[in-house]
Structure 1
Amino acid sequence: MDNSPFANISSPGDARAALAEWKERADQRAAEAIAASEAVQELTVTAMDANGVVAVKLNSSGAVIGVQFHPDLQRMQLRHAERQFMEAYDNAGKALMRAAEAAVSERLPEGSPTARALVDSVKMRFPEREEEEEF
């Protein structure tokens, strides 16, 4: 925070005014951080695989809260169906990260440590996946 308002204090009245101004800015930043956090917590996203066979819905914590399968899935081999699900899940995770970034950027200044922490809390739930191994 900028402490320059305290540099030119020459009286108790100046000190009270500077402290009140500092507190007002701190309260505003806290309110913005709370609003951003609440916006992220309320997010849900749905994404599909490239073939449109599986749709996955995630909540803000990255938990699957819904899955829809197209009837074409019945004709797929299980290993292909698994890949379609994982692709839809990965796409939903990416969509959740984009939604979190947007929600935070609407409420907090770019480069804010709080903004980075909120977005990083979502990103850490979706680490980059390595090539799939066959079971």
Structure 2
Amino acid sequence: MDDSPFANIRAPEDARAALANWKEKADKMAADAIAASEAVQELTAVGMDANGVVTVKLNSAGAVIGVQFAPELQRMQLRHAERQFMEAYQNAGKALLDNARAAVQERLDPGSPTARALVDSIRMRFPEPPAEADRI
């Protein structure tokens, strides 16, 4: 048995209806992909270190667009302050990846190649531990 939308075409009207239906589905898929892409491009995320000393805000490209330091930072040695910043940056990256997943899943089938590509564009900048990387 053939599940193709074109399997039961018996007349020109059937062909036109099948093509119109196929085009409608293709247009919806394209619109959903564009909406998901735009949603990912508009994302921002905030991360903080475990001690609450550094807060980092990222844009969708993973670029730092804001940093806040608690007064406690002034009493820290430079190497500790650097570690706090990097932890906050990585936490913001994880949040950005989670936000991207959520934005994509609202608009696309999570298993679709487009959904994977959108999430992978952020995952490449903020790699996950192997156990977490298996989920979209």
> TM-score normalized by structure 1?
0.91
1:65 aligns with 2:71: no
Cα distance change of structure 1 residues 75 and 31 upon mapping to structure 2, 3 Å threshold: same
Name stretches of at least 5 consecutive residues in structure 1 with no aligned partner. 130-135
Distance in 2 separating the partners of 1:8 and 1:54? 63
Q: CA deviation at 1:128?
A: 5.2
Name stretches of at least 5 consecutive residues in structure 2 with no aligned partner. 130-136
Q: Which deviations, in whole Å up to 9, do the C-alpha atoms of 1:21-78 show, x marking residues without a partner?
A: 0000000011111111111000011110000000000000000001010010000000
Distance in 1 separating the partners of 2:65 and 2:25? 38
Distance in 1 separating the partners of 2:16 and 2:92? 50
Distance in 1 separating the partners of 2:74 and 2:43? 31
User: What stretches of structure 1 move > 6 A for 4+ residues in a row?
Assistant: none
Aligned residue number for residue 101 of structure 2: 101
Percent identical across equivalent pairs? 79
1:89 aligns with 2:89: yes
Aligned residue number for residue 23 of structure 1: 23
Q: Which amino acid aligns with 1:50?
A: A
Q: How many residues align?
A: 128
RMSD of equivalent CA atoms: 1.5
Q: Which amino acid aligns with 1:114?
A: T
Distance in 2 separating the partners of 1:15 and 1:127? 47
